[in-house]
Structure 1
């Protein structure tokens, strides 16, 4: 891969374009995906990740990419193999997120022109993911690892790495992670709640607007 960064040869910033927050859509019935995406984007959320264990995830990505591709970044999450990445790219995804770091997935993402956000937890894993060409590293699960305090400690020596913490981050906690050095935060159920199952868009809109307002201060 050509888009790599190594501390030994001089750290380089990769181009990160997901915005300050990524809404993670996981699970549900598949019946409310379009309404949930519409509500999130209208509320100011700039990036949507639809995971591969969400019903009809391919159709959701295709719909969102066609309707909102110019207003928000649309990506795929829980990518476990290159086949899923290829399917997401064909549907119109522009970035791919994994809970782990897999070099083959990273190479395929690079070939398909997708931003690659692999998961990592330890400093060793974070640096390795960055060296393999991650556009940003998904620090996961962020809250159980120690939250903003953990992130700040890790980024003290690794300040050349762009990180996107996810996992257990609340709507009102997100700004603390940006203050600790994250380039963006990923929020799943604390933001989406049960909207993918119940279709409760009013509550979703309230959380999304509170999140966006908190991150813009």
Structure 2
């Protein structure tokens, strides 16, 4: 019998976001990217297999970078904003072409504002209380942050009580080498920051890092299917 007993409200995630996430559950974080280089890095990520890209709002002219990415990349790609700290930023991101709001914290008002605007939302949560409050507000995925502090033990504990259809996405300190332990514990995907992109690096290096992450993910998938 289907039931929603394990969620505070029916789970109805953003369909386009979930399609992109299922295609490649690696979220690129381009913190510090500038508008004139955003498209090149976005194309490098897309060519490697990424389908979700975020530009944190503490980057230089982030809305212009979001707009540049949206114009440069195919519609299947989700482009969004990270480090969204206030509800009023949601409308600005949407006007720039963003479809995803990512936060370092679990402000439920921002989650509700994002969902009311038709955007996907990935709030940052560090406790089960925050996680369930975020889900009650309409969160699409749970950004487990910071992953260095939480670790695989916490991922496993959360997976036991949070519905399997809700993606758990560790962010912070994730590398191609440590993803497998987190996936084994119950993680569904990852947000990738400085191990993927650092301000000032060229698009060729972004492409190299992106291919390494995608290769590691595919290796994990193959191991799970064997």
TM-score, scaled to structure 1: 0.86
Gaps of 5+ in 2: 220-226
Counterpart residue number, 2:66: 61
The 2-side partners of 1:9 and 1:81 are apart by 24
Answer yes or no: is 1:14 the counterpart of 2:13: yes
**How many aligned positions are there?**
209
Answer yes or no: is 1:100 the counterpart of 2:102: no
Question: Bigger CA drift: 178-187 or 28-37?
Answer: 28-37
| Preserved contact between residue 33 and residue 65 of structure 2 (Cα < 8 Å) | no
Counterpart residue number, 2:121: 116
Counterpart residue number, 1:204: 206
Counterpart residue number, 2:224: none
Task: Select the structure with the greater relative contact order (CA < 8 A; seq sep ≥ 6).
Answer: 1
Q: Which runs of 4+ in 1 moved over 4 A?
A: 8-11, 28-31
Deviations 1:99-132 (A, max 9, x none): 1112221121112100011111011111111111
Answer yes or no: is 1:154 the counterpart of 2:158: yes
User: RMSD in angstroms over aligned alpha carbons?
Assistant: 2.1
For the residue of structure 1 that corresponds to 2:64, the secondary structure is helix
| Preserved contact between residue 138 and residue 166 of structure 1 (Cα < 8 Å) | yes
The 2-side partners of 1:28 and 1:8 are apart by 37
| Preserved contact between residue 51 and residue 79 of structure 1 (Cα < 8 Å) | yes
TM-superposed deviation, 1:153: 1.8
Gap change, CA 1:92 and 1:83, over 3 Å in 2? same
Gap change, CA 1:52 and 1:155, over 3 Å in 2? same
| Preserved contact between residue 53 and residue 78 of structure 1 (Cα < 8 Å) | yes
TM-superposed deviation, 1:172: 2.4
Mapping 1:64-143, distance limit 5 Å? 64-143=69-148
Gap change, CA 1:110 and 1:176, over 3 Å in 2? same
TM-superposed deviation, 1:141: 0.2
TM-score, scaled to structure 2: 0.83
Counterpart residue number, 1:27: 32
